[in-house]
Amino acid sequence: MTVIPLSESWTVTALSGPAPEGVAGRAIPATVPGSVHLDLLRAGLIDEPFDGDNETTQQWIGDVDWRFETTFRWHEDGSERRDLVAEGLDTLATITLNGVEIGRTENQHRSYRFDLGAALVEGENALRIDFDAPVPAAHERSERHGARPHVNHHPYNALRKMGSSFGWDWGIDVAASGIWKPIRIETWSTARIASVRPLVDVEGTTGVLEAHVAIERADGLRRGPLRVEVEIDDRVAQVEVAPGETSARVRVEVPDADLWWPRGHGAQPLYDVAVRLADVDAWRGRVGFRTVHVDIAPDEDGSPFALHVNGRLIHVRGANWIPDHAFLTEVDRDRYARRIAGATEANMNLLRVWGGGIYESDDFYDLCDEQGVLVWQDFLLACAAYAEEEWLSREIEAEAREAITRLSPHPSLVIWNGNNENIVAYADWGWRSKLGGLTWGEAYYRRMFPALLAELDPTRFYSAGSPYSFSSYLSPNLDQYGTVHIWDVWNTKDYASYREWKPRFVAEFGFQGPPAWTTLTDVVHDAPLDPQGAQMLVHQKAWQGNINLERGYGPHLPAPKTIDDWHWATQLNQAAALRFGISYFRSLSPYNTGTIVWQLNDDWPVISWAAVDFAERRKPLWYALKAVYAPRFATIQPAGDGLAAVLLNDADEAWSGDLVVRRLAFDGTVRAEAVIAAEVEARGAATVALPAEVAAAGEPTGEVLVVDAAGFGRALHDFAEVVEQSLDRAPLEVRAERADGAVRVHVTARSYVRDVFLLADRGHRDAAVDTGLVSLLPGEEHVFTVTGAPEDVDPSAFTAPLVLRHAGDLRA
């Protein structure tokens, strides 16, 4: 096989639509893979799309038809087939080679292969790809086929294009066009490997690989037999593919195979697999041997959603994942690696790839394989009703087939999910009446997707949707059945209301907070800066988002008087809300088997639910998640008329020891104390009632309950909210020094101090800090280590009042 990459000498031209003077009709150098926005930016024809209100002034880009063109040379090599392979075109494209139309596309989420035949000529060739403007196309298709409910302002559900590229309640609207994945010429003879599905199982101690190999023959079905050989762990098996056959199944057994485990449960051994088709083609990949089962069997409480890998229950500590950049080609393997490290360092063991985005690149899944991060993968249908007629269903089936096949080697992928919130929207959001009999997607969720998985990859679990109660006769979002989404807290309730639910598994829930100060002010330039400023609201996509932030902190924190305090208060409240919710949900173990917080990441600089902002700065929420997702975690929860310590031990070793329980005044005076023996089995939980004389506050606004247990993070219970507490506004002694290439900030508490946090980027934009949200008792010291700051930065910059913060400094 000969491969000619087509990545050079591209131009892009605005053909029709509202392109401004200086852009219309002008051939602009284009980068492939890439996007129109980025090409215009590099050419100096638009300003930074994420800055200020440029989103509004650049809406014309999605209303323009764009033409990409290049030339390349080809010389006859005697091959029987000459194909154009486009891994990703975004989205409605007409492809012409030397004036001959060779194909059309209408799906960003799949690849295409076109036989060029006689259109490819000796010498120079001219390739042209014309893209229809996506925004008017989506509206036209919606009107033609029947408008169906959807969130946000464009009918993204009428086009197989990334839903969030049209904007979301955290995302910028940059729907445009481009060649977003590699494109190339392949010439070949005899046959080629069209795809490989290396499915695994474990039988006793033996790993079993069944490689399903699809073959394309250059001459159709006529030529003679072919040999397919599969090698794994120095073991080789082969089969002969008879004339007329285009597929093969090869079984290879690996005795005493090392099992692949989720992180925290064991190692992640990966086995190289080589598939060879005679001497004409080869495929290489990796697999990990493991089994997957999700228990949804009804019980006396409803029905669980309990994920088992290799027969072991996995308590899920996860986050939802959205596309990591609004311009997808800007995400490379290194960025994926940093983002996934952001998950693993916060003690997460699962990422859910959400259905309004994309099937991520192989780099994402490879890294999850290597790190033991489980993947829940949505099919790409989210928050909308989708037509089931042939014009759309053929594309959804094609993309699903390709995605299932491509992702089949990855041991990290354990769950396929039919959609995000579409079933609950039909059942509970009033869609049924709005649809008036139009199809809405049920055929995909209940028939197409499960049938495709049964055919192509029955080794993973399938859920028809999220949330889902695993019954057609129940509301899809009942907390005692299957998976639940909890959005009432963000939308209407105080975060203390999380205790109104008793969920088996929480697949979505979250609370907003702004990004780091530098990330925010790099793009928001309101003067003066204000939560309701014009540019601030451009970077707040949730309906009444900043009003919800104010409502959210009101019962808990003093009202901020400055924009600096608003920023700190809303970041702190976001962290407090999720810390409260996850602590409670985990305390329900084993009844509750997991949480997947919304969300880990951002795709542009925005006020959102993310734990790590677009500039990769970790918000206070990230530090809260690291604490509450610790494998060994202690929390204090209401129990009857009193309080109890709940110990979660997600480790292979049982634990026993003493709980040291103290009720302290804020000045450190011990008001009551007890020592209680406790034990927790491996991968288990234990609830220990706390004596009333210790657990009942004498002075709620000036006392704190403390539980210490060796090997667990300290558990604290505040008897009152910050807004009510008599916290010292200046409780810390502080000094900073340089040591070993870092800045070390030493803080010592003179009285009880809640949630000390160092906003490192406010000391220097490149700085980051190792720990955060540290609460201290009188006399205790903590050292923050700050990295990334240049040597000429004075260490005292990181002790300034707007840098080193704590909950009490919001008090008047």
Distance of alpha carbon 355 from alpha carbon 89, whole angstroms: 19
In sequence order, what are the beta bridge partners of 658?
677
Specify burial of residue 145 (Cβ count, 10 A radius: 0-12, 13-18, 19+). middle
Nearest to 485 by CA among 588, 595, 580, 400: 595
Handedness of CA 607, 608, 611, 617 (dihedral sign): negative
Q: pLDDT tens-digit profile of 233-270? A: 999 999 999 988 999 999 999 999 999 999 999 999 99
Residue 222 has pLDDT above 90, yes or no: no
- Band (pLDDT 50/70/90 cuts) for residue 334 is very high
In the three-class reduction of DSSP (H, G, I as helix; E, B as strand; rest coil), residue 695 is classed as helix
Give how far Cα 125 sits from Cα of 2, 27, 97, Å.
Answer: 17, 18, 7
Check whether residue 705 and residue 803 sit in a common domain.
no
Return the bridge partners of 200, or none.
209
CA separation for the pair 706, 718 (Å, rounded): 9
Q: How many Cβ atoms are within 10 Å of 110's Cβ, its own excluded?
A: 23
Distance CA 282, CA 88 (A): 22
Helices (H) and strands (E) in the chain, counts: 18, 44
How much is the pLDDT for 730?
94
- Are the C-beta atoms of 705 and 695 separated by less than 8 Å? yes
From 54, 160, 64, select the one nearest 107 (Cα to Cα). Answer: 160
Give the residue numbers spanning the domain of 248. 190-287
Mean pLDDT of 339-352: 98
Structure-token pair, residue 699? 């002075």
* CA gap 229, 199 in Å, rounded: 16
User: How many other C-beta atoms lie within 10 A of the C-beta of residue 711?
Assistant: 14
**Range 334-343 average pLDDT:** 98
CB-side exposure of 759: number of CA atoms within 13 Å? 21
Residue-wise pLDDT for 549-573, tens only, equals 999 999 999 999 999 999 999 999 9
The one-character DSSP state at 444 is: I
Give the model's pLDDT for residue 432: 94
Q: With 90 as the cut, is the pLDDT of residue 219 above it?
A: no
Q: Kindly state the average pLDDT of the residues 418-422.
A: 98
Task: Mark whether 469 and 414 lie in a shared domain.
Answer: yes
Query: Distance between CA 587 and CA 800 in Å, rounded?
Result: 38
Whether 535 is in a domain gets the answer no
Tell me the pTM. 0.97
- pLDDT, tens digit, 9 for 90 and up, residues 462-485: 999 999 999 999 999 999 999 999
- 20, 158: one domain: yes
Domain identity same for 599 and 454: yes
CATH code of the domain containing 73: 2.60.120.260
Q: Is 463 within 8 Å of 415 (Cβ atoms)? A: yes
Cβ–Cβ < 8 Å for 59, 114: no
How far is 702 from 79, CA to CA, in rounded Å? 83
Instruction: Give residue for tokens 């990769």.
Output: 616
What burial letters (b/e) apply to 495-519, b meaning 16+ CB within 10 Å? beebeebebbbbbbbbbbbbbbbbb
Do you find a cis peptide bond into 91, omega within 30 degrees of 0? yes
Judge contact between 414 and 375, C-beta under 8 A: yes
Domain stop point among 187, 210, 225: 187
pLDDT of residue 147: 97
Residue type, 601: N
The answer for 773, left when phi > 0, alpha when psi is -120 to 50, beta otherwise, is left
Same domain (yes/no): 317, 249: no
Alpha carbon of 785 to those of 417, 626, 742, 760, 800: distances in Å?
41, 17, 7, 10, 15
User: How far, in Å, are 173, 207, 213, 401, 717 from residue 249 at the CA level?
Assistant: 45, 16, 6, 18, 59
Q: Kindly indicate the confidence band of residue 158, based on its pLDDT and cuts at 50, 70 and 90.
A: very high
Q: Are 625 and 536 in contact (CB under 8 A)?
A: no
Residue 265 lies in a domain: yes
Q: Is residue 320 part of a domain?
A: yes
Same domain, 736 and 799: yes
User: 126, 84 in Cβ contact below 8 A?
Assistant: no
First to last CA, the chain: 73
Q: Which residues contact 401 (CB under 8 A, 6 or more apart)?
A: 452, 456
The predicted pLDDT at position 811 comes to 87
Question: Would you say 371 and 411 are in contact if contact means Cβ atoms under 8 Å apart?
Answer: no
Q: 599-658 pLDDT, tens per residue?
A: 999 999 999 999 999 999 999 999 999 999 999 999 999 999 999 999 999 999 999 999
For all residues of the chain together, what is the average pLDDT? 97
Domain assignment present for 662: yes
Please choose, from the candidates 567, 573, 576, the residue with its C-alpha nearest in 3D space to the C-alpha of residue 553. 573
For residue 539, give both structure tokens: 């970077």
The CATH number covering residue 220 comes to 2.60.40.10
Residue 553: inside a domain:
no
pLDDT band at 221 (very low <50, low <70, confident <90, very high): low
pLDDT for residue 1 = 87
Q: How far is CA 155 from the centre of its chain?
A: 23
Helix (H) / strand (E) containing 350: strand 350-353
Domain count, the chain: 5
Same domain as 164, residue 35: yes
Please tell me whether residues 44 and 125 are part of one structural domain. Answer: yes
What is the Cα–Cα distance from 408 to 414, expressed in whole angstroms?
A: 10
**pLDDT value at 510 more than 90:** yes
Amino acid (1-letter code) at residue 757 = F
Report residue 380's pLDDT band, with 50, 70 and 90 as the boundaries: very high
Per DSSP, the three-state class of 397 is helix
**Cβ-based neighbours of 387, under 8 Å, separated by 6 or more:** 145, 146, 148, 157, 158, 393, 438, 439
- Domain holding 430: CATH number? 3.20.20.80
The answer to whether 750 and 731 are in contact (CB under 8 A) is yes
Domain membership flag for residue 156 = yes
Claim to verify: residue 710 and residue 695 sit in the same structural domain: yes
Give Cβ neighbours of residue 614 (< 8 Å, ≥ 6 apart): 325, 515, 519, 601, 602, 603, 604, 605, 606
Domain C-terminal end among 167, 187, 207: 187
For residue 566, CA distances in Å to 358, 492, 532, 755 come to: 34, 20, 11, 16
367 and 246 in a common domain: no
Same domain, 428 and 379: yes
The answer to whether residue 304 sits within a structural domain is no
Residue entry with tokens 């803080």: 747
Cα–Cα dist 784/804, whole Å: 10
Looking at the structure, do residues 274 and 343 belong to the same domain, yes or no? no
| Token pair belonging to 365 | 């899944």
Question: Is residue 23 scored above 80 in pLDDT?
Answer: yes
Query: Last residue of some domain: 155, 187, 219?
Result: 187
Whether 636 contacts 643, CB under 8 Å: yes
User: 3-class DSSP state for residue 283?
Assistant: strand
The rounded percent of the chain whose pLDDT value lies above 90 is 98
Identify the three-state secondary structure at position 36.
Answer: helix
**Under 8 Å between Cβ of 468 and 482:** yes
How many angstroms separate the CA atoms of 133 and 14, rounded? Answer: 10
